[in-house]
Amino acid sequence: MGHRKGAGDDMNTLERGLAGRTAVVTGGAQGIGAAVVARLCAEGCRVLVLDKSAEHGRSAVKDWREHGHEVALAVGDVVDEDAVRAAFAGVPAGWPAPTLLVNLAAGFVFKGLDATPQDWQAALAPTIVGLSLVTREFVAALPPDAAGAAIVNMASISAHIAQSGYLTYNTGKSAVLGFTRCAAQELAPRGVRVNSVSPGTVWNANNERYHREALGLDRATAEAAPEHGGKFLLRRFADPEEIAAPIAFLLSAEAGFITGTDLPVDGGYLAV
């Protein structure tokens, strides 16, 4: 029985890496987002960072440019339709149209049933409304021949489990999983793949500050504690670069037959 030509044939003609592509990364100025931008730059991408922090965004972009990378900054909130439109309209002249999107911006609100309407708005607006607005604009701006277009959304191990006092956060991240599956179905006819990653605890600036100031723990002590690093099979936290690497994989043609799924990057947390 002969092979029937389909969208996969075009995918297989793509270069294995990401060189020459343009990516958009929301929340790319710090933490995991900055690690993703650095990884995509190392892969040879041009990257547009959409972040609401002008201070962190400008500092990060200046550093990447000094290292010879092509990075542009759009300052704005993902829940602001005008800001999102302006970001995509502001892709530098001479860059290819974006065909890669990484949605990292989210609301970090940790509340239980005592959450107010304002808490829920702060938790869900960036995580879901912003995610949808950015994705919609990205898809609208795709060129007709956008072979290999791909989206990766940021979920969390918290999307898969119950955690006391995390009702607002876990609900938002659970919604990311549903959004990813539905968007993958809707965009498959256009050849656009949509996936998500679910990280475990990542040792970034915010988590370091929390462990040091709230718990009085440095990284080594926190990782040795059964209730912290000990929750993971690998008995440690992740570095931001360890989340960026699988995101880059899911964006690449190497993952050309993967869509509508979530990849836990959790040191084995969800396995037990």
129 found inside a domain: yes
215 found inside a domain: no
Instruction: Note the pLDDT of residue 147.
Output: 83
The answer to whether 233 touches 272, Cβ cutoff 8 Å, is: yes
Instruction: Note the pLDDT of residue 3.
Output: 44
28 found inside a domain: yes
Instruction: Note the pLDDT of residue 2.
Output: 42
pTM metric for this prediction: 0.93
3 found inside a domain: no
Domain with 34, as residue range(s), is 21-202+238-265
183 found inside a domain: yes
Cα–Cα dist 70/50, whole Å = 14
Domain count, the chain: 1
CATH number at residue 92: 3.40.50.720
Question: Phi and psi at residue 98, in whole multiples of 5°?
Answer: -60, 130
Instruction: Note the pLDDT of residue 15.
Output: 58
With a cut of 50, list the residues of the chain below it in pLDDT: 1-5, 7-8, 11, 13
Query: How many Cα atoms sit within 13 Å of 14 on the Cβ side?
Result: 25
pLDDT digits (tens, 9 = 90+) for 22-47: 999 999 999 999 999 999 999 999 99
Instruction: Note the pLDDT of residue 5.
Output: 45
Cα–Cα dist 205/208, whole Å = 5
Q: Which residue has the tokens 């191990």?
A: 157
* Catalytic residue positions, numbered: 169
- The helix-helix angle for 131-140 and 81-89 (nearest 10°) equals 40
